[in-house]
């Protein structure tokens, strides 16, 4: 049976692109958070000047290429780079990497490459569509801000799997079996295997080459052909793992790296899933604490009683899904996605209240619209990006998975115990990748980046998607890690409302100023 997606797929998807973390594309009309590119910026330069550094002979054609920038929007330039399909065998094919650049408006330091997260988030769209949200004005003045789509993503050589109708079935289909039963596991596993087969058929050899190590090697290539001797980089969420991986591979090329909403590179898939379940459980409690103090809250009583009510609501739609006006169904998996989506930002909490109220009255459409925003689905049923496909393909290569159903059940039980309200819908993540066409035996490990220049790691105490303890862990692991803590709610901290975080990040990227101690913003 095709088109059934494990709830664990959503658990693993939590470190989404930062543009979704601000409340999401589906909520953008309500929140008006997408930045507009100002018209006063200077035009893009026509070509780049590579560094000309000495590399292996089979890599010279890649490292010596000259980027040709073409105007592609108001004060933006776009270019396409080529990289080896397989970095271990550079002469066996190549891929394309899409870039967009906003040229520095003042005294230029160099290039600042930006990754919004995911894996699967489009850095190209992040800069092209929301430059002002991606980076603050001081960085726009001093840096050429460069967005790029990593291998497998978006406008670069990309993973492709399903058409729109198949994706609907895969993301929103209902599993006709009891959650966690042998039948349910067989159906979910079969759907995941079918999805992988479709990806292999449509994507080809690229599907086995979209791991983060390969993307980090692409990042070094982009650094060199942009003309920067060292990498200056701002990575959000999954982008912190990409940046840390780069630092481990090329510590001598580290310039000024900021990693905001950090991922602990030593955490296994199961540890990531459980930590995220707990993170979103805590974010849900924070939302309810705030909601219950207002006049328009759909809940009453205590936070604990309200959490129980949310749990009953999830169990209810798991047993009897709601039907939307377009015929799609809202089961527990889709409702969980709809709940999680606004939890990325406290600014979205009022809309979460509206969604809860609508579902309580048996209405499915608002929940579907929130889930659509998270999944990148447009109102007409098309999908605006390949984030689902690329997310799965990258994660299946970056983590190790196992097929023992008994172990899966033990992990699922531990997650449910740690996060009693939403944790029961986060389990069985191994099913997503255990039958993937390209198997990985990679074990997660600490990253130290010995010899690298100082690296700024930013963590938010109430971050549901990348819990604060991950930022602490990464800063501790990195030999030159420096922690900046933000005491607040939401996913990532830079370029939001906290001047303490903004000042620390911008002073580091512009002046190289390293905090003497954690400013505890």
| Residues tagged active-site | 237, 463, 491
Q: Strands 231-236 and 110-115, how do they pair?
A: parallel
| Torsion from C-alpha of 363, 366, 367, 370, nearest 10 degrees | 180
What is the rounded CA–CA span in Å between residue 173 and residue 161? Answer: 17
Burial 115-145 (b: 16+ CB within 10 A, else e): bbbbbbbbbbbbbbbbbebbbbebbbebbbb
* Selection from 392, 465, 33, 335 nearest residue 196 by Cα: 392
Side-chain-side CA neighbours of 151 within 13 Å: the count stands at: 29
Q: Which helix (H) or strand (E) holds 423?
A: none
Rg of the chain over Cα atoms, rounded to whole angstroms, equals 22
Q: Let me know the angle formed at the C-alpha of 372 by 353 and 135, rounded to the nearest 5 degrees.
A: 85
CA distances from 13 to 6, 191, 269, 406 (A): 12, 18, 11, 24
Question: Strands 143-148 and 481-489, how do they pair?
Answer: unpaired
Dihedral over alpha carbons 161, 21, 126, 12 (to 10 degrees): -30
Token reading at 165? 């109708």
CA 465 – CA 8 distance, rounded (Å):
14
Q: For strands 94-102 and 110-115, give the pairing.
A: unpaired
Calpha distance 140→507 (Å, rounded): 13
Q: Give CA–CA dist 14/12, Å, rounded.
A: 6
DSSP structural state of residue 453? P
Cα 396–Cα 400–Cα 404 angle in degrees, nearest 5: 105
Q: 3-state DSSP: the chain helix, strand, coil percent, rounded to 5?
A: 45, 15, 40
Per-residue burial over 499-521, b = 16 or more CB atoms within 10 Å of its CB, e = otherwise: eebbebbbebbbeeeeeeeeeeb
H, E, C per residue of 363-379 = CCHHHHHHHHHHHCECC
> What distance in Å separates the CA atoms of residue 243 and residue 114, rounded to the nearest whole number?
10
């Amino acid at each position: 049976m095709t088109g059934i997606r494990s709830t664990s797929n959503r658990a693993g998807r939590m470190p989404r692109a930062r543009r979704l973390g601000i409340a999401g594309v589906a909520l953008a009309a309500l929140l008006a958070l997408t930045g507009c590119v100002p018209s006063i910026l200077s035009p893009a330069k026509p070509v780049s000047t590579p560094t000309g550094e000495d590399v292996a002979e089979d890599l010279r054609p890649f490292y010596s290429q000259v980027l040709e920038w073409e105007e592609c929007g108001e004060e933006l330039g776009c270019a396409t780079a080529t990289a080896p399909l397989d970095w271990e065998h550079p002469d066996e094919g190549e891929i394309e990497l899409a870039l967009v650049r906003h040229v520095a408006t003042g005294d230029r330091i160099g290039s600042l490459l930006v990754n919004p997260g995911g894996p699967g988030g489009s850095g190209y769209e992040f800069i092209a569509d929301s430059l002002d949200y991606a980076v603050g004005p001081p960085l726009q003045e001093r840096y050429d801000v460069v967005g790029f789509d990593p291998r497998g993503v978006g406008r670069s050589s990309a993973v492709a799997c399903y058409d729109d109708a198949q994706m609907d079935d895969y993301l929103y289909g209902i599993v006709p079996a009891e959650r966690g039963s042998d039948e349910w596991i067989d159906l979910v596993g079969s759907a995941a295997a079918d999805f992988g087969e479709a990806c292999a058929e449509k994507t080809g050899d690229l599907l086995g080459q979209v791991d983060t190590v390969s993307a980090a090697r692409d990042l070094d290539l982009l650094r060199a052909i942009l003309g920067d001797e060292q990498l200056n980089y701002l990575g959000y969420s999954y982008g912190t793992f990409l940046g840390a991986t780069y630092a481990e591979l090329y510590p001598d090329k580290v310039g000024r790296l900021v990693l905001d909403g950090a991922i602990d590179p030593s955490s296994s898939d199961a540890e990531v899933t459980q930590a995220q379940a707990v993170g979103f459980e805590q974010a849900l409690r924070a939302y309810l604490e705030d909601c219950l103090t207002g006049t328009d809250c759909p809940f009453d009583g205590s936070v604990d009683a309200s959490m129980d009510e949310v749990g009953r609501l999830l169990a209810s739609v798991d047993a009897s899904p709601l039907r939307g006006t377009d015929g799609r169904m809202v089961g527990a998996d889709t409702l969980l996605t709809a709940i999680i989506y606004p939890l990325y930002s406290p600014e979205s909490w009022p809309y979460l209240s509206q969604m809860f109220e609508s579902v309580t009255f048996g209405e499915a459409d608002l929940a579907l619209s929130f889930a659509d925003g998270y999944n990148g689905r447009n109102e007409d049923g098309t999908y605006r990006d390949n984030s689902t496909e690329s997310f799965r393909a990258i994660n299946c290569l970056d983590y190790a998975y196992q097929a023992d159903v008994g172990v899966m059940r033990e992990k699922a039980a531990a997650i449910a115990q740690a996060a009693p309200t939403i944790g029961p819908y986060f389990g069985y993540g191994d099913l997503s990748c255990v039958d993937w066409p390209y198997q990985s035996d990679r074990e997660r490990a600490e990253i130290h980046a010995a010899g690298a220049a100082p690296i700024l790691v930013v963590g938010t105490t109430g971050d549901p998607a990348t819990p604060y303890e991950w930022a602490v862990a990464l800063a501790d692991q990195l030999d030159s890690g420096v922690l900046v803590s933000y005491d607040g709610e939401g996913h990532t901290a830079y370029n939001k409302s906290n001047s303490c975080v903004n000042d620390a990040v911008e002073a580091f990227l512009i002046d190289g100023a390293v905090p003497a101690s954690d400013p505890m913003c």
